[in-house]
Amino acid sequence: MPELPEVETVRRGLASAVLAADIVSAQVRHRRVVRRQPGGARHFTIALAGSRITSVQRRGKYLWLELADGGCDGAALVAHLGMSGQFRVTEKQRIHDNHARAALRLADGRTLLFRDQRTFGWLLLSDIGATGVPEAVAHIGRDPFDPEYDLAAVSARLASSNSGIKRQLLSQTVVSGVGNIYADEALWRAEVFPETPGVLLGQQRCAEVLTQAHAVMAAALAAGGTSFDPLYVAVNGESGWFERSLDVYGREGEPCRRCGAPIMRERFTNRSSHRCPKCQAPPH
DNA sequence: CATTTATCCTGTAAGC
DNA sequence: TGCTTACAGGATAAAT
């Protein structure tokens, strides 16, 4: 599932593949991909035609292409990969792809394709506000790789809430980029019970969790960046390039690498939570 | 306001 | 073998 390291890998691939490219035309191949777009597919395709890609940006799991000229001057094409979204650049003229949701024809003959099996991903044209991020991304907190990310401020906010620490990590509003996999990994590294309320955890322990989240995502990014093909700017949700490095996620029943106790899996808000029952025991 | 829950979707895999 | 069911989960609208 694409979390920050995977999305950053895609961002780098897009930057090397389509920076300064001109968009000749846009095609929506599945309506659902533009479900958040005011004006729908019609506005989307009309506005994109004639635009130029001037930069490729990211915050948390959100990606965007800054645009100039055309009907999108000063706006951005915001993309969220959801569970299974991929970008791909192809030289092919005819697209035979059941999962292709949108296609941008580039002036040099190539096509930038947005593919998405489970259709949780989306594309949206959004104006870039005074903060420098698209309006559609304004509610998302800075991620740990952001130069203006403030560890003390974020940990203070986490520690001021009664909500459980994992829930807060996944919310994307205080800090962004962390999904279910890296949340479990960070909490294991910090030896924290996932449902510990922020207020009970305290600012120092919250900071430790955030530091570990940053560390594990940096390691994953380093691993993901090594096998990179600029013409196949892809995220495979099931791909396991970092899987062998995971300490708890998907390791139910296997021994904890710190203490040997069998890793347990629990239901958590319609998904799974993995933890060591000894290293990450509930408080009290 | 803060916080929690239901919902969207489809390919894969396990169970009967 | 073939059908049914559970599961994976990010973000957000709706509910509490």
Residue A227 has pLDDT above 60, yes or no: no
Work out the average pLDDT over A105-121. Answer: 93
Nucleotides of B under 7 A from a protein CB: 2-11
Residue A98 or residue A259, greater confidence: A259
Å from A125 (CA) to B6 (C1')? 27
Q: Judge whether residue A207 has pLDDT over 60.
A: yes
Q: Give residue A71's pLDDT.
A: 82
Band of the pLDDT at A233, cuts 50, 70, 90? low
Half-sphere CA count of A84, side-chain side, radius 13 A: 10
Closest nucleotide (C1' vs CA) to A180 is C9
Q: Is residue A223 within 8 Å of A245, Cβ to Cβ? A: yes
Residue nearest to nucleotide B3 (CA to C1'): A163
What fold characterizes domain A151-275? Helicase, Ruva Protein; domain 3 (1.10.8)
Query: Which residues face A58 on adjacent strands?
Result: A63
pLDDT (0 to 100) of residue A25:
96
**Which backbone phi and psi does A164 adopt, to 5 degrees?**
-65, 150
| Predicted pLDDT of residue A225 | 52
Closest nt by CA–C1' to A61: C10
In this complex, the answer to whether residue A51 has its CB under 7 A from any atom of chain C, a nucleic strand, is no
Domain ranges of chain A: 4-137, 151-275
Q: Are A151 and A210 in contact (CB under 8 A)?
A: yes
Give the model's pLDDT for residue A267.
85
Question: What Å value separates CA A269 and C1' B5?
Answer: 8
| Cα–Cα distance for residue pair A122/A230, rounded to 1 Å | 22
Residue A166 has pLDDT above 60, yes or no: yes
Of the pLDDT bands very low, low, confident and very high (cuts 50, 70, 90), residue A283 is confident
Superfamily holding A4-137: MutM-like, N-terminal (3.20.190.10)
Span A168-183, pLDDT tens digits = 999 999 999 999 989 9
Name the pairing type of β-strands A23-28 and A62-68: unpaired
Q: What values do phi and psi take at A221, rounded to 5?
A: -65, -45
Task: Give catalytic residue positions of A.
Answer: 2-3, 61, 271
Q: CA-based angle A152:A155:A158, to the nearest 5?
A: 150
Q: Residue A230: is its pLDDT beyond 70?
A: no
Q: Is the CB of A168 under 7 A from strand C?
A: no
Give the whole-number percent of chain A exceeding pLDDT 70: 93
Please report the pLDDT score of residue A72 as a whole number. 85
- Residue A117 binned pLDDT confidence (cut-offs 50, 70, 90): confident
**Average of per-residue pLDDT across A108-135:** 91
Query: Taking all residues of chain A, what is their mean pLDDT, rounded to a whole number?
Result: 88
Q: Is the CB of A3 under 7 A from strand C?
A: yes
